[in-house]
Chains A and B, each alone.
Chain A
């Protein structure tokens, strides 16, 4: 069996053509996809234009925006750390009952002391004994 003859015999077989009714379906679907792709590319173009406008507005100096962002990050971190170190009011213990009683007693005592100092009790006049000292002139007269 010669190779050439065998190959020719194989080549003689005609391949089945594509079914005719597929043509319209395939081309119609392809056209529909083309329209969709075209619309999508228009949307993409519009977005790119908008993005370009924003880009021009916001992106004149990328280093400045980067630095601002870094500062914000630092501020945020510091703020976060500060919040952690704040004393918690709720954690302060309530004074014991005995302490409160003692404080109350002290307060009463102070009030009493203050009120007593504000209204001094009138002292009775002091009796003074006659001085034993004699005036020298009187002594001379007496002599």
Chain B
């Protein structure tokens, strides 16, 4: 039986992926940090949570997603201007090597903001976590068909929005 990973190992293997996902969902670095802290605190307090988990990354992403949804709900109740705050641009990506790529990144970050959080989550998991629709469905607690349709809608919107700049840099 393989030994359970330590908290430090878990952090080193998954923290960046969780951070990227949370930043994309919450659009706020401070909130992303709070949720990341929350996830690792939960794991530290109850390591048995991981005992029967086959896909650790998926499980941690699910924990992160649930906590992020709680934050979004809480903030939208407390502050009706959360949507406006969420429109603020955050540095989602490592800065590109050339100016065209940097512009594309900015446009992409802006286009992602315009997606609803549930579509944004699916796009993120599909594009940057390379998950299948079945895995995405499990992570987000939705059906695979819903995951696929959300991805299709979201990709259409992104393509529409990014068409000019994409044609330029292609």
Chain A: residues with CB nearer than 8 A to chain B? 1, 3, 5-7, 9-11, 13-18, 22-23, 26-27, 29-31, 33-34, 37
Contact = CB atoms under 8 A, between A and B. Distances in A.
A18 B19 contact: yes
B20 A16 contact: yes
Contacts of A34: 41, 44-45
Interface stretch (B49-57, B71-79, B158-166): B158-166
Given A23-B11, A26-B37, A15 B93 contact: yes
A30 B37 contact: yes
Contacts of B155: 3, 6-7
Given A30-B40, A34-B44, A16 B163 contact: no
A37 B41 CA distance: 10
Contact of B163 (A1, A23, A31): A1
30 contacts: A1-B167, A5-B170, A6-B162, A7-B155, A9-B170, A10-B127, A15-B16, A15-B17, A15-B20, A15-B92, A15-B94, A15-B128, A16-B19, A16-B92, A17-B16, A17-B19, A17-B20, A18-B15, A18-B19, A22-B33, A23-B15, A26-B11, A26-B36, A27-B7, A27-B11, A29-B37, A31-B7, A33-B41, A34-B44, A37-B45
B74 to A, nearest CB: 20
A6 B128 CA distance: 14
Nearest to A25: B37
Given A10-B108, A10-B158, A11-B127, A27 B8 contact: yes
Contacts of B17: 15
B105 interface: yes
B69 interface: no
Interface of B is mostly: helix
B136 to A, nearest CB: 15
Interface string B4-19: 0001100110011111
Contacts of B167: 1
Contacts of A10: 108, 127, 158
Q: How large is the interface on B (under 10, 10 to 19, 20 to 34, 35 or more residues)?
A: 35 or more
B122 interface: no
Contacts of B18: 18
A133 B69 CA distance: 143
B159 A6 contact: yes
B158 to A, nearest CB: 7
A17 B12 CA distance: 11
Given A30-B7, A37-B44, 15 more contacts: A1-B159, A3-B155, A9-B170, A10-B108, A15-B93, A16-B19, A16-B93, A22-B15, A23-B15, A26-B40, A27-B7, A29-B37, A33-B44, A33-B45, A34-B41
A31 B44 contact: yes
